Structure formats: structure tokens, C-alpha cells
Amino acid sequence: MCGITGWIAYDNDLTTQRPTLEAMTETMTCRGPDAAGIWLDRHAAFGHRRLAVIDIDGGKQPMSVAHDGRTLIVTTYSGEVYNYRELRAELEKLGHAFRTRSDTEVVLHAYLEWGEGFVERLNGMYAFALWDPRTEELLLIRDRMGIKPLYYHPTPDGVLFGSEPKAILAHPSVRPTVDAEGLAELITFTKTPGHAVYKGMHEVRPGHIVKVGRGGVKATRYWALEAREHTDDLDTTVAHVRELLDDIVARQLIADVPLCTLLSGGLDSSAITALAAKALAAQGRGPVRSFAVDFTGYTENFKADDLRGTPDGPYAHALAEHVRSDHNDIVLDTAALMDPGHRAAVLAARDLPNGFGDGDTSLYLLFKAVREQSTVALSGESADEVFGGYRWFHDPETVNADTFPWIAAGVSGRFTGGNATREALLDGGLLGKLDLPGYEGRRYREALAEVPYLDSDTGLQRRMREISYLHLTRFVQILLDRKDRASMAVGLEVRVPFCDHRLVDYVFNTPWSMKTFDGREKSLLRAATRDVLPDLVADRVKSPYPSTQDPRYGEALRTELKGVVADRNAPVQPLLNSVAAAEATADGATSDIRPGAELILGMNAWLRTTGTTLEL
């Protein structure tokens, strides 16, 4: 896993632009702490920061392939191709010779052999650029599910690109500007594919190739979810899900560095940890190492709410004992969650204040602690989107709402009422200009227009295909981006087995009645993995990533917000609803303001540190 950046300029000589490329590349140091590389040609310049995972000595980048002294292809590459060994063997039979053991070199030779269509052969998570000096064309390629990020910014004579916006913003010709649509995208939970919030910037859509040439920039799709008839019976379906999971986990255990799993004690992470333990034992590499996040006093003082019915700790420990993992609890306290340095690091990692508050800070701190002992971690992320795990999948009112189901379910307000919404403390005039409900509605209708159907899709089956599609193309992007930024901020590679496109495609086309055959959420996953799980874990009701329940966290937010409200020079002041902010920070105020306060505080820090201009 790495950080990449680059610049294509057909009207300039980029061999003189090393300082600019070094500045852009330096912003990606957190993603690649092990090595740096720059490659310059007349019209193309690549930067790379490396997190060495496979072929530590041989996988340095940018990497090229030459023949008779002529460069044929160059890449700056981020990610992992899990089937690179099979592809390498096939390419060797076709006459290709390799000088490294890296998957990066396999990608280069695959392009030389099969052209742009080679990407359809890849199984993995990746975001990379290919420059072909023979045609003077650039390809920006992103994996099917969008696990790894990749942004680009067209220029009058080419393009700038990077793993994160900060790499592009480091170029002297780009200024951080956000218009009304960008701000609406930032505040809402829509995650529009291709939208990068910053004006003039775009994100390469999952499953897409962006081609840049002298004629301009063109995006094409190489993969998308398709509707297919599911002909397997229930037993065959469960068996095939397990067969896929066994293969996926085994592939994703390949690494030349220490590896672990992220274990919450929920069905998803427990299944991955148990399957990893089984695979490692078969290879003589066990035990699996696992990590869980917890908060001081959380289990002892836990209070169930509408979102979380049980604390994670006892279940994580039960699974760890069951598979005999080398388990570690990372216990955080409120002081760590409120530490200005930690929150600044999260904001710097995300480039935007559109996160999950303490959930982002705790995730960052968890990954920071994990990185001290491991370089690669397997996660249970995305199982809920694939198998239908969220509670709103099973609530008829939410399912039938005329908007994104997670918005109908109240994710932006943490499932509470009153002032506990992200926009509660924003100025009324600003909200009127942004028209957040209208923006969400337009994006929702755009997403629905993409959904593939079968003629047999009627009634509930048709609607649940829509719900699944919305989650697999929109909501999962919010979570994958969050996990990538928090992990790469500390140089930790997180792999997500449930995003393997073979599994996603198969389960997407499995009828909803099979996905809920036992009357519960994630029926297929539970049935496919029950044999490797203790009953306590297999039967646990879904509980999302934990959030601190320490009242001191809310009090600390209120105190900090009060300081911002009183500071007339605070950059967020023009966006504030002064009356609501005064009421929320008044002495004796007790209302829950966490989502709104976290957004305001994040926006204030973002505007102050980045110099972003709002064009509203």
C-alpha cells in the first residue's frame, strides 16, 4: 500500500519540475513511510511513497519496463493484486521475464500483454497510474469497489492526480475552493461517485479507467454490478459463499510483513478472524494476531441504546479464546479522544471535516497502536452492505422511504432527535441556499436510475435490490474512505475481504428471501461461517463500531464549541446559527449536540488550517 501522485502536461517540460513533484509526493509520506521515488519525463512526472508489503527489496517505485533502451510503460501504483502469482505464471508462459517478486511488475507486464483490458483480470484493491510513452497517454485506474482512493484535477494541458486531495492541492496552480454543491456534498451522507468536494477536482469512480491524452480526459467503466438470475438452491448458495470466503481470506493473508485482524466481536470481523486463524494454522503460520478497540470503563458502565445493545469486549474475547488468537485490546480514554493533536491528525488525514467525530479519532488511535506491531490488517468492513446487516434493511418504513435508507434511519443525527443533527448549528440562510434535502433527493434519484433489474424483480425483491445497490455504490464508499484515510495516516494497510468483487456480485444477485432465510440479518454469512464461530458470537445481534459513552466527551465538546462561538475571528463564524450555538453552549445546557458540534469544530479547524475558500 502506498501514496501516489503525478502531473501530465503536454505544453510543458516537466523534467524541470522536480521541486513541485517532490512537494506533491511529500504530502503522501504518511501513506508510504518506507521509501520515496520520483520519475520525470518531458510531459509526465510521477511521485511515489512506499509502504513495503510484498518484495521489500525489489518493489521500489515508480517502476518501469524497458526494451532495447526504450521505456515502454511506467507506473506509480498503490494497492495489492491478490492473484498476481497466477497472472505472473501466465505471463511467463507468454514469454515475459520478471526482475522482481512484486505485484507491481505483474501489472506492468499485464498491460503490455493485454492492453487496457488487463484490468478485468485483476483481483484486488488498487489505484494506480500508467504512462505509456509510446502513445503519450495516461491511464488512471481504480479497483471495482473503490477500496483505494484516487483523485484527479484536469488542467488546460493535462491533469494532476493523487491518492488524496492534499497531493493535488500541493501544486501551486491549485487553490482549495469549495462551492455550494461541494459543501452540500460534504455535509450530507450521499457520497456521490466521482465527487471530490473541492472545485475542479474529481475522484476516479470505482471500476473506472480515466484516460488522459492530448485530446482531453475521458472516463470509461470496466466493471459494474449487474443483475443475473440466481439458480443455486439455499444449501449450494451457503456452500459457495463459504468457498469464496475461504479463497478470499487465504489470498489476502499474503504479505512479507507482520499481519493481523481487526476484531470487534461482531459476526463480520469474527468470521474473518476465525477463517484467517484456520488458514494460517493450515500453513503452519499461526496463531493469528487480533486487535480490538475499547474505551476506559465502557464495558463495565455500558448502557444499551437504539443503536447498540451490547458492548464489544466480551464477544471479542470469546472469539479470541475460541480461535486461540494472540489478542490485544487497545483501550482509549476521553483525554485521548479530545487531544487536539489527535483530532488535527484525523482532519489532516481526511482532508475534509466530514467524518464520524469520536469514531474517527478512536479509529485513528486504534490503527496507530496496531501499526506498532503489524503492517497489514484484515477487516470485516463491508459485510453489512453485502449481506444486508444494518437494522434499516429490515425496517419497512425505512426501506420504503423516498431517500437513501441510512438518511431515513437517521445516521447523520446518530439516531437521536432535537439538536443532535450535523446541520443543527448551521445558519438558516446557508441551509436554505444549500437545500440539503433537495441535494439528497437529486443524488438519490441519480443512484436509483443506475440500478440493474431482472424482469422477475417485483415487490420486495425489486426494492431490496435497490437498497443493496445503494449501499454497495454509495454508503460503503463513506466507510471505505474513512478506513483508508485513518489507516494510511499511520502507514497501516487494511484489507477488506468482503469487498472481493466475486463475493459482492454473487451475493448481490442472491434473492432477498435467501439473504434472510432464518428471519435475521446476514443469514448467509452466519450459515456459511457458523462452524468456525462460538454460538455466543454467531448469534449476536448487529452492533456498529463503538462510540464513547463518557459524558465528559460531550462536555469537552461543548466547552470547545463555546470558545469558537465567542471568537469573532473564528473562520466558521459566518456559517453558524448564532442563536442555536448560544443556546447549545449556555451554562446548564444539557441537549445532545455531538454531531453538530463535531461538524462545526471540524469545519473551523479545516478552514483555519487549509485556507479553503467557500464560494457560496
2 catalytic, yes or no? yes
Average pLDDT in the 363-382 region?
96
Whether the Cβ atoms of residue 283 and residue 312 lie closer than 8 Å to each other: no
The answer to whether residue 1 scores a pLDDT higher than 70 is: no
The percentage of residues in the chain with a pLDDT greater than 70, rounded to a whole number, is: 97
The answer to whether residue 412 scores a pLDDT higher than 70 is: no
The grid coordinates of residue 104 equal 507491481
- Based on its alpha-carbon atoms, the radius of gyration of the chain, rounded to whole angstroms, reads 24
Confidence of residue 415 (pLDDT cuts 50, 70, 90): very low
Terminal C-alpha separation, the chain: 37
Position 331 scores a pLDDT of: 92
In the chain, the largest separation of any two C-alpha atoms, in whole Å, equals 77
Position 437 scores a pLDDT of: 94
Confidence of residue 305 (pLDDT cuts 50, 70, 90): low
Position 20 scores a pLDDT of: 98
The answer to whether residue 355 scores a pLDDT higher than 90 is: no
- Report the chain's mean pLDDT, rounded to a whole number: 93
Q: How many CB atoms lie within 10 A of CB 233?
A: 10
Q: How many CB atoms lie within 10 A of CB 279?
A: 19
Torsion angle, CA of 379/500/4/474, rounded to 10 degrees? -80
Confidence of residue 417 (pLDDT cuts 50, 70, 90): very low
Q: What is the spatial distance between Cα 79 and Cα 251, in angstroms, rounded to a whole number?
A: 14
Q: Which of 250-259, 297-306, 348-357, 468-477 has the lowest mean pLDDT?
A: 297-306
Name the phi and psi angles at 579, rounded to 5. Answer: -70, -50
Position 492 scores a pLDDT of: 96
Name the phi and psi angles at 55, rounded to 5. Answer: 50, 70
Whether the Cβ atoms of residue 438 and residue 432 lie closer than 8 Å to each other: no
| Model confidence pLDDT, tens digit, residues 49-78 | 998 888 777 778 999 999 998 999 999 999
Q: Which of 12-16, 92-96, 576-580 has the lowest mean pLDDT?
A: 576-580
- Three-class SS state of 215: coil
Position 340 scores a pLDDT of: 86
The answer to whether residue 548 scores a pLDDT higher than 90 is: no
- Tallying the residues shown for the chain, one arrives at 616
Position 448 scores a pLDDT of: 98
H-only helix segments in 426-522 = 428-434, 436-450, 459-470, 476-488, 501-508, 512-515
Confidence of residue 136 (pLDDT cuts 50, 70, 90): very high
The answer to whether residue 38 scores a pLDDT higher than 80 is: yes
The percentage of residues in the chain with a pLDDT greater than 90, rounded to a whole number, is: 82
Confidence of residue 538 (pLDDT cuts 50, 70, 90): very high
Confidence of residue 334 (pLDDT cuts 50, 70, 90): confident
Q: Which of 41-45, 88-92, 172-176, 588-592 has the lowest mean pLDDT?
A: 588-592
Position 590 scores a pLDDT of: 76
Q: Which of 50-59, 110-119, 437-446, 512-521 has the lowest mean pLDDT?
A: 50-59
| Model confidence pLDDT, tens digit, residues 154-164 | 999 999 999 99
Confidence of residue 307 (pLDDT cuts 50, 70, 90): low
| Model confidence pLDDT, tens digit, residues 233-256 | 999 999 999 999 999 999 999 988
Confidence of residue 413 (pLDDT cuts 50, 70, 90): low
Position 418 scores a pLDDT of: 40
Confidence of residue 416 (pLDDT cuts 50, 70, 90): very low
Position 102 scores a pLDDT of: 92
Q: Which of 124-128, 340-344, 387-391 has the lowest mean pLDDT?
A: 340-344
pTM: 0.95
| Model confidence pLDDT, tens digit, residues 439-485 | 999 999 999 999 999 999 999 999 999 999 999 999 999 999 999 99
The answer to whether residue 599 scores a pLDDT higher than 70 is: yes
Q: What is the spatial distance between Cα 110 and Cα 130, in angstroms, rounded to a whole number?
A: 12
Average pLDDT in the 102-131 region?
97
The answer to whether residue 300 scores a pLDDT higher than 70 is: no
